[in-house]
Amino acid sequence: QVQLQESGPGLVKPSETLSLTCAVSGDSIYSSNWWSWVRQPAGKGLEWIGEIYQSGSPYYNPSLKSRVTISVEKSKNQFSLKLNSTTAADTAVYYCVRRVGAGPPRGVFDMWSQGTMVTVSS
Amino acid sequence: EIEMTQSPATLSVSPGERATLSCRASQSVANSLAWYQQRPGQPPRLLIFGASTRAPGIPARFSGGGSGTEFTLTISSLQSEDFALYFCHQYNNWPPLHTFGQGTKLQIK
């Protein structure tokens, strides 16, 4: 059974860096799937942040590209998110998500973490 | 960026009745369209992929249709657990640039 569990601070000060890690179990980071981050401000819709395939070059949402880094931690079967220069607008529930890379349902987000609330406030 | 627009924002339907939710893309996404259900306090759950294929374990009362720029999600005979938030998602871009609709809240009438 595939599970994704994120970890990281729930409170970040404005202008500082938001850092989250997602531990994957039941699948390998080096499988044929993509590993993504999606966020959701309270009461609002979903925003794709970016994703990475194995240890290749990540892809980012252009609206966040200048502030985001997604990377794979090879030896720990986990991947991470760093978002710098944070503001209150970055306050949201952050999900780590598997996106299917091969076979049906190729292309979609099929496994989601429970989500972690991150608040940007002094 | 492909913009996804869902309508209506809120839909009030009685249990046992049919609900039809719409999603429109600002340009063609072929059939690279998925639907997700989100219950309060829960992550989204994949319902439909490829515009019309139910994900494993999804009841037959959920059906998807459309292609190109116009899509629908139909839930026949609404059950209490179906009242939730629904999002559409297009995954037709390369390089990847995923976009979601703003959501339709399905509530009990």
pLDDT tens track for A33-81: 999 999 999 999 999 999 999 988 999 999 999 999 999 987 899 999 9
Closest CB to A46: pick one of B46, B50, B87: B87
CB contact under 8 A, B55 and A46: no
| DSSP-based three-state secondary structure for A20 | strand
Cα–Cα distance for residue pair B104/B12, rounded to 1 Å: 10
Strand B104-108 to B10-13 pairing: parallel
Q: What is the dihedral of CA A53, A25, A7, A102, to 10 degrees?
A: 30
**pLDDT score at A74:** 79
Residues of A in contact with B1 (CB under 8 A): 62
Take residue B56 and report the two structure tokens written for it.
Answer: 């494993």
C-alpha Rg value of chain B to the nearest Å? 13
Write the Ramachandran bin of B82: left for phi over 0, alpha for psi from -120 to 50, otherwise beta. Answer: alpha
B39 interface with A at CB cutoff 8 Å: no
Q: How many CA atoms lie within 13 A of B32 on its CB side?
A: 20
Asked if B96 and B47 count as a contact pair (C-beta separation under 8 A), the reply is no
Tell me the C-alpha distance between A114 and B70, whole Å. 31
Q: Is A61 on the interface with B (CB under 8 A)?
A: yes
Contact A95 B46 (CB under 8 A): no
**Cα distance between residue A60 and residue B70, in whole Å:** 26
List, in order, residues 6 or more apart from B59 with CB less than 8 Å away. Answer: none
**pLDDT value at position B61?**
98
pLDDT tens sequence across B8-67: 999 999 999 999 999 999 999 999 999 999 999 999 999 999 999 999 999 999 999 999
| Beta bridge pairs of residue B105 | B10, B85
In the prediction, which pLDDT does A40 show?
Answer: 98
B95 CB within 8 Å of a chain A CB: yes
Which two tokens mark A78? 């986990």
Q: For A76-111, write each residue's pLDDT tens digit.
A: 999 999 999 999 999 999 999 999 998 888 999 999
How many whole angstroms separate alpha carbon A98 and alpha carbon B29? 21
For chains A and B, CB pairs below 8 A equal: 60
